[in-house]
Structure 1
C-alpha cells in the first residue's frame, strides 16, 4: 500500500429495516491506488459508495474521505471528489454540454469564469468533444455513460468514485475509458471503481476489495492476491518427451500444454532444452482473480454477475 488513506471506514453499517445492506465494513483505500470494489449485484457495493458520498447515512460506524468525517464535512470534501453512482443523471431535454454547465453551477465549488473551458475539456477527455446540440434523451446508453464520467471530471478531482463506469460501452469505449482512468491515476488522482466485472477490475486496478452479503471479505493488492501457485505451465511440440523427462512432476497435460510442479521457470527451461525437448512457451502459473473471489465469497454459485443464488438481499 502507498500513501495516506483517502478513504477509511470503521465498523460502517447500514440497515434498511431488517435488511443489513452494509455490515461492519472496515476499509482503507491508500492515496494513489486504483482500487476495485468487487461483488455481485446486491452485495452492498453501491450502498457503501453512497455512504462515502454522504448520500446515505450510516446506521452505525464511521467514514472519513480525504481525511474528513463524512457526511459532516461533505461541503469540504465533495468539491474534491468526482462521482458516478447508479448511472448518470441528466436533464433529458437539454444537450450534454448544457447539462454539464448546469451541474457545475449547481455543485459545490464550481467556478463560473472557467466553466466553459472545464466543460469542453471534460467532454474531450471522454470522447464527446464533437458533441452537438441534440438532447440527452436521444443519446445511446454508452454516450450517457461517457457524459456521466465527464461530469465526474469537471473539477480535477483528487478522488474518483465510479460505480460500473463502463456500463453500456462497446469494447473500444471500454478501452478508452480504461486508458483515461490510468492516465488520471498516474497524474495523482485516486480511482475507486465499483464493479461486478472481474475481468475489468483485474485489468485496471492495483488493489482489490471484495464484498459479499454486505461484508468486506477481502482487501489486498492485486499482485499479492495473484501469487504464484507453485506450478509452471509449459507448451511443447513434444509432450511425450517432456512427460518422460519430468516423470512425477507433471500434474496435468492437455496436448502440448503441461502443468508442472516447480517454482523456477528458468531452471525448468534449462532442464528441458538441455535434454533436447523443444519449448514453445513457459511461464509461472498464478491464481486468477476469479479463483480468489470464488474462494472468499459464499454464494455457492460459479456465477459472478448478480444472477446466482444468494443475491438480491443487499443494495
Structure 2
C-alpha cells in the first residue's frame, strides 16, 4: 500500500455562522505515513479531524478516506479506521476490558477480528489493554481510572480491529512523561507493522520524534505540508560551538553569519577545512556540524499568531 493516498481532502471548508474554522484545506496522507497534524489551540485541527470521520459535515469541499468518499462511504470505511478524538467515552461502572468487548461487538458484521466470537473479542480486548499498558487494571471499573488511564483505554479501543488507518487527536493528553514515552514507542511499533497514522497534536517535540510528514494548520489554513526530512535538511551553514568565539570571529574574517554566545553560524563550502582553519588559529572547537532547523523553528516561521482571534476547534 506504500504510496497510496489514504486521506485526501480538496478545498475542505467548515464554517460556524460567520466564523471559518477550516479554510479550503487540501490534505494528502500516504499509506505508511506517520502524519503529524500541527497547529495551536483554536487552529481548526479538531474540526478537521471531525470532518474526516464524518462526525460533523463540511460546509464545502470533499473528503476521501482509504480511497472512498466520506461521509457517503462511512459504513464501509470506518470499520477500517481506528480513532481517538477529544477523549474516550466509556461506561464508568464497567471494567476497561468489558468496555472494549462491548465496543468491539458493536462493530461486528462490518469488520471484526478473526473468529468474532465472545471469547475472541475478550482475548483481543486483553491484548490491546496490554499494548497500551492497562493489562493489570483491565478488570477495574473505568470510574476508578485516572485521565491518563482513560486516554490509554481510548487508544486501546482505536486499536481493537487492527485498523489500516489510525486517527488520533492529542493521544497523550493527561499522560505523564513515562506514559508519553510508552505511547510514542507504541506508535513507532504500529508504524513499523504498516499502520498509517494521522496524529493531531500541539506537542512539537513528540511529533518530531515519531512523524514522517508534517501538516501545519494556522487559523484554519494549511500553511505547510512536507516530509519532516525535507524540513530538517541542512541549511548550508555550519554550526561552530567554541569557548573562544571572539578569536573565531577574527580567524573567520566575515564568514560568520550569526552568533549566540559561544555558538556561531558560519557559511563555508567545506566544514573539514573550516575545522582545520580554526584549529590552526588556536580556536578550541567544542562542536562543529551542519545547521538543521528544529520543527519549532519551522512552525514559528510559517505561523503568525494574531491576538484576539478565536476560532472553534
CA distance in 1, matches of 2:42, 2:269: 39
**Per-residue deviation at 1:148?**
0.8
CA distance in 2, matches of 1:31, 1:243: 48
Q: In the alignment, is residue 24 of structure 1 matched against residue 30 of structure 2?
A: no
Aligned partner of 1:221 in structure 2 is 227
Aligned partner of 2:40 in structure 1 is 40
Aligned partner of 2:74 in structure 1 is 74
**Per-residue deviation at 1:228?**
2.7
Aligned partner of 1:305 in structure 2 is none
Question: Does the CA-based 8 Å contact 2:97-2:122 persist in structure 1?
Answer: no
CA distance in 2, matches of 1:263, 1:122: 52
Aligned partner of 1:248 in structure 2 is 254
Query: What CA deviation, in whole Å up to 9, does each residue of 1:233-271 have, x standing for no partner?
Result: 112344344232112122344554322223543332233
TM-score (norm 2): 0.92
- The 5 A counterparts of 1:1-315 are 3-107=3-107, 108-111=110-113, 112-113=116-117, 114-300=120-306, 309-315=307-313
Which consecutive unaligned segments of at least 5 residues does structure 2 have? none
**Per-residue deviation at 1:282?**
1.0
SS at the partner of 2:29? strand
SS at the partner of 1:109? coil
Question: Does the CA-based 8 Å contact 2:129-2:138 persist in structure 1?
Answer: no
Which consecutive unaligned segments of at least 5 residues does structure 1 have? 301-308
Question: Does the CA-based 8 Å contact 1:210-1:293 persist in structure 2?
Answer: yes
**Per-residue deviation at 1:69?**
0.7
CA distance in 1, matches of 2:105, 2:133: 22
CA distance in 2, matches of 1:207, 1:58: 24
SS at the partner of 1:130? helix
| CA distance 1:310–1:284, shift in 2 (3 Å) | farther
**Per-residue deviation at 1:310?**
4.1
Number of residue pairs aligned between Structure 1 and Structure 2: 306
Query: What CA deviation, in whole Å up to 9, does each residue of 1:126-165 have, x standing for no partner?
Result: 1111115322121111111111111111011111100000
User: What's the Cα RMSD here?
Assistant: 1.8
TM-score (norm 1): 0.91
